[in-house]
Amino acid sequence: MAETIYDVAIIGGGPGGYTAAIRAAEYGLKAALIESTAKLGGTCLHVGCIPTKALLFNAEIWDHVNHAAEYGIGGIGTPALDWAAVLNRKNAVIAKHVKGLEFLMKKHKIATVPGYGRLTGPAHDGVHSVEITGAAGEISQIKAKNVVVATGSEAKMLPGLAPGERILTNIEILSLPLPPKSLIVIGAGAVGMEFSSIFRSFGAEVTIVEFLPRVVPVEDEEISKELTRLFKKRGIDVNTGAKVEMVEQTETGVKVSWTDANGRPQAKEAEKVLVAVGRAPRTGDVGLEKTKVELDRGFVNVNEAQETAEPGVFAIGDIVAGLPQLAHVGAMSGMVAAAKIAGRKFRPIRRDRIPGCTYTEPQIGSVGLTETQAKEKGYEVKMGKFPFAGNSKATILGSHDGFVKIVADAKYGEILGVHIIGPQATELIAEAVAVLELEGTVEEMMFTIHAHPTLAESLLDAYGAVEGMAINA
């Protein structure tokens, strides 16, 4: 029988890879999806976006239950946490979506190939060979006209440390037998802040140690400031400008020593430490060195169609240089690559139109330029800010902290950035993404009707605030 030559072989079954495979099949291409672990879904589904958001939802319910009396609900007594049930629910959510992905692969007639994939070099007569190493070490090959590399990333460790029972990455911390009584989190990006939020809700004493001068450093400065304030209000010890000097295991836990922002030595002991200092691209062992693919500190350089320097080889998701490591970026880069391979129209990813969400309590949702970035780009900027304290739905929810901040161009009124911290910020940001995509102006949005009473009305007030004309503040 003639050997199958796929239109595209995708290495890695995370949100980048499986989205590329589905979209390729929707375009009528013959696609193969290679995954080295037993299940599709990648970091996002198994040890990233989905389990963390499941636990954050449990934490939110727990927080509400503990304040049930404020909402007129009595008879609850002292709520008890069934941690095993919490973990079971998280695992059930994951399992449901693994099944969903398996169904989608069948539906789209995508060949799922178990095993570890490596490129063998450039294409011969327009056909690439990908070597597959199976679970038992057996070697096979598949052939494809195009290859999409979507191998994702893994947690970076501090030098000399290895993850274990007390020193944790995003993987170990998701299966702890019990919530820790105390936790030190090294790194205050989205991952570190989300785990801090979860375990603080479940009663842990949480200490954050961040090297940079502020938490969530990619966000607008005012957002970082507000999150720090609100985390401190929740009893979280936030240390920024802090350089970790040593992490040592003790008899009862882990001791972290650091130099604080004033150059003074500090130390704290906790039951567990989470290292959340960024994620390294998995590009070291995929055969890229046998091709012309260019790397920049391990990340793959691509053009606006996600093509690498090697003809017929694409890169998407967390391994791409210059893009934030987010599941929706992985998925969209997969859709762009699939469109290019199919010879269809696509819109390249625009760095300044990618929403960033942090699902802490309170949440953050942002898109576009921060105030500083807009000024650095030479815009004359106008700002509008509206606090959730003036929003009636926020009052109903009992969630008044935070604000919406609009960054606009003073000359034409174009909205350049929207930064939200507060209730449902990660849902509210969708409107702002559409506004930026459609190059909306402050005037257009000031006359766009927002339903009442909704949290989204805080956006309407914030657009008005750019012209000094918020209604509710």
Ligand X SMILES: Cc1cc2nc3c(=O)[nH]c(=O)nc-3n(C[C@H](O)[C@H](O)[C@H](O)COP(=O)(O)OP(=O)(O)OC[C@H]3O[C@@H](n4cnc5c(N)ncnc54)[C@H](O)[C@@H]3O)c2cc1C
Peptide bond connecting 348 to the previous residue in cis, omega within 30 degrees of 0: no
Subset of residues 229 to 288 that bind ligand X, contact rule: CB under 6 A:
282, 286
Instruction: Find the shortest distance in angstroms from Cβ 390 to ligand X.
Output: 29
CB of 449 to ligand X, least distance (A): 30
Chain position carrying tokens 């693994």: 98
Contact region with ligand X (CB under 6 A), list: 41-49, 242-250, 445-453, 461-469: 41-49
By the rule CB under 6 A, 10 interacts with ligand X: no
Give buried/exposed letters for 343-354 (b at 16+ CB in 10 A, else e): eeebeebeeeeb
Which residues, numbered 53-82, are part of the site for ligand X (CB under 6 A)? 53
Q: Is residue 48 at the binding interface for ligand X, with CB under 6 A as the rule?
A: yes
Edge-to-edge strand list for the sheet holding 205-209: 167-168, 272-275, 182-186, 205-209, 237-239
Q: Are 394 and 388 in contact (CB under 8 A)?
A: yes
Nearer to ligand X among residue 273 and residue 460 (C-beta): 273
Measured from the CB atom, the residue of 43 and 201 that comes closer to ligand X is 43
Contacts of 251 (CB under 8 A, 6+ apart): none
Residue 358's nearest CA partner among 231, 189, 217 is 189
Site string for ligand X, 103-122 (x = CB under 6 A): -------------xx-----
Beta bridge partners of 314: 148, 307
What token pair was written down for 20?
Answer: 């590329």
DSSP alpha helices (H): ranges in 116-275? 190-201, 221-233
Site for ligand X in 298-317 (CB under 6 A): 317
Nearer to ligand X, 36 or 391 (CB): 36
* Identity at 165, one-letter amino acid code: E
Query: Which DSSP symbol is given to 414?
Result: B
* 42 vs 413, beta carbon nearer ligand X: 42
Tell me which of 46, 97, 450, 452 is the catalytic residue: 452
Q: What is the CA radius of gyration of the chain?
A: 24
Q: Which is nearer to ligand X, 302 or 374 (CB)?
A: 302
Least separation in angstroms between CB 16 and ligand X: 3
Q: Is 452 a catalytic residue?
A: yes
With residue 342 as reference, give the H or E element that holds it. Answer: helix 327-342
Residue 162-201 contact track with ligand X, rule CB under 6 A, x = bound: --------x--------------------x----------
Q: How far is the CB of 374 from ligand X (least distance, A)?
A: 24
Strand partners, 142: 130
Kindly state whether residue 366 participates in binding ligand X, applying the rule CB under 6 A.
no
Q: Could you give the residue numbers annotated as active site?
A: 452
Residue ranges binding ligand X (CB under 6 A): 11-17, 34-37, 42-44, 48-49, 52-53, 116-117, 150-153, 170, 191, 282, 286, 317-318, 325-328, 330, 359
